[in-house]
Amino acid sequence: MIVSGVGEPGFRISGNLMVEKTGLAEFRNSVVKVMSRYHGQYFLAALNQGRLLIDRCQYEVPNGVQHAIASLDTAQVEIKDTRFGFAQLVPLGRSRITASRLTGDFECVVSDSARLELADIPAQPGAGSIWVWPTFMPGTTAVYSPPLPGYVDHFLFPSANSSGIEQSFQIDRCTVRLWPLLVRENTTLTLADIPEENWVVVGLYLPHSMTITGLTNRLTYDDQILPLQDRTLRLSQASIDTWNLYPVLEAQVTIRNCLIGELIAQDSSRVDMEGTIVDGTGGYFGASQNSFLTATGCLIACDVQAIGQAGMAFHQSLLLPYFSDTTGAYTFFRVFDTAFLHLDQTLFQTTPVLGGRGAIAFTYILNAPPEPPVGTSVPLAGYAAVYSLDPKVSLMSWSLRLYQRGTHAFSIIGGGLGNVENRYLGTWQNALPDTPYELRLTLRDSLMRKHEGSIIY
Task: Tell me, yes or no, whether 261 and 338 share the same domain.
Answer: yes
Domain assignment present for residue 5? The answer is: no
Instruction: Quote the strand ranges of 158-241, DSSP E.
Output: 162-163, 168-176, 179-183, 188-194, 200-206, 210-213, 219-225, 232-240
pLDDT tens figures, 73-131: 999 999 999 999 999 999 999 999 999 999 999 999 999 999 999 999 999 999 999 99
Task: Tell me, yes or no, whether 449 and 407 share the same domain.
Answer: yes
Task: Tell me, yes or no, whether 313 and 394 share the same domain.
Answer: no
Task: Give the per-residue pLDDT at 406.
Answer: 87
For residues 86 and 71, give the distance between their C-alpha atoms in angstroms, rounded to a whole number.
Answer: 18
Quick one: pLDDT band at residue 274, thresholds 50, 70, 90?
A: very high
In sequence order, what are the residues at sequence separation of 6 or more whose Cβ sits closer than 8 angstroms to the Cβ of residue 377?
427, 428, 429, 430
CB atoms within 10 A of CB 128: 21
Say if residue 149's pLDDT is above 90.
Answer: yes
CATH number for the domain harbouring residue 396? 2.60.40
Say if residue 34's pLDDT is above 90.
Answer: yes
Establish whether the linkage from the previous residue to 147 is cis, with ω within 30° of 0: no
Task: Tell me, yes or no, whether 262 and 349 share the same domain.
Answer: yes
* DSSP code string of 307-371: -TT-EEEEES-EEE--TT-SSSTT-EEEE-TT-EEEEES-EE-SEEEE-TT-EEEEEEETT--SS
pLDDT tens figures, 373-389: 999 999 999 999 999 99
Task: Give the per-residue pLDDT at 113.
Answer: 96
Task: Tell me, yes or no, whether 384 and 411 share the same domain.
Answer: yes
Collapsing DSSP states into helix, strand and coil, what is residue 251?
coil
Judged on CB neighbours under 10 Å (0-12, 13-18, 19+), 376 is exposed
For residues 104 and 128, give the distance between their C-alpha atoms in angstroms, rounded to a whole number.
Answer: 4
For residues 92 and 87, give the distance between their C-alpha atoms in angstroms, rounded to a whole number.
Answer: 16
Domain assignment present for residue 81? The answer is: no
Domain assignment present for residue 46? The answer is: no
Instruction: Quote the strand ranges of 345-435, DSSP E.
Output: 347-348, 351-354, 359-365, 377-388, 395-404, 410-416, 420-429
For residues 418 and 240, give the distance between their C-alpha atoms in angstroms, rounded to a whole number.
Answer: 48
For residues 239 and 193, give the distance between their C-alpha atoms in angstroms, rounded to a whole number.
Answer: 8
Question: Are the C-beta atoms of 427 and 413 separated by less than 8 Å?
Answer: yes
Task: Tell me, yes or no, whether 388 and 352 share the same domain.
Answer: no
For residues 179 and 149, give the distance between their C-alpha atoms in angstroms, rounded to a whole number.
Answer: 7
**Higher-pLDDT residue of 159, 226:** 226
Domain assignment present for residue 415? The answer is: yes
Question: Are the C-beta atoms of 257 and 276 separated by less than 8 Å?
Answer: yes
Collapsing DSSP states into helix, strand and coil, what is residue 283?
coil
End-to-end CA distance of the chain: 65
Question: Are the C-beta atoms of 273 and 215 separated by less than 8 Å?
Answer: no
Task: Tell me, yes or no, whether 351 and 258 share the same domain.
Answer: yes
Average pLDDT over residues 339-349: 98
Collapsing DSSP states into helix, strand and coil, what is residue 118?
strand
Relative to beta strand 17-19, strand 96-100 is unpaired
Task: Tell me, yes or no, whether 252 and 340 share the same domain.
Answer: yes
Say if residue 300's pLDDT is above 90.
Answer: yes
183 φ/ψ angles, rounded to the nearest 5 degrees:
-110, 120
Q: Is 222 left (phi over 0), alpha (psi -120 to 50) or beta?
A: alpha
Boundaries of domain holding 325: 248-356
Task: Give the per-residue pLDDT at 238.
Answer: 98
For residues 244 and 264, give the distance between their C-alpha atoms in angstroms, rounded to a whole number.
Answer: 8
For residues 350 and 19, give the distance between their C-alpha atoms in angstroms, rounded to a whole number.
Answer: 38
pLDDT > 70 fraction of the chain, expressed in percent and rounded: 100
For residues 343 and 315, give the distance between their C-alpha atoms in angstroms, rounded to a whole number.
Answer: 7
Task: Give the per-residue pLDDT at 380.
Answer: 98
Say if residue 453's pLDDT is above 90.
Answer: yes
Tally the domains of the chain.
2
pLDDT tens figures, 396-437: 999 999 999 988 889 999 999 999 999 999 999 999 999 999
Task: Tell me, yes or no, whether 325 and 388 share the same domain.
Answer: no
Q: What's the number of CA atoms in the CB half-sphere (13 Å) around residue 422?
A: 0
Domain assignment present for residue 283? The answer is: yes
Domain assignment present for residue 268? The answer is: yes
Task: Tell me, yes or no, whether 395 and 341 share the same domain.
Answer: no
Quick one: pLDDT band at residue 159, thresholds 50, 70, 90?
A: confident
Domain assignment present for residue 209? The answer is: no
Q: SS3 letters for 35-102?
A: CCCCCCCCEEEECCCCEEEEECCEEECCCCCCCEEEECCCCEEEEECCEEEEEEEEECCCCEEEEECC
Question: Are the C-beta atoms of 150 and 129 separated by less than 8 Å?
Answer: no
Domain assignment present for residue 309? The answer is: yes
Judged on CB neighbours under 10 Å (0-12, 13-18, 19+), 457 is middle
Task: Tell me, yes or no, whether 422 and 322 share the same domain.
Answer: no
Task: Tell me, yes or no, whether 406 and 438 share the same domain.
Answer: yes
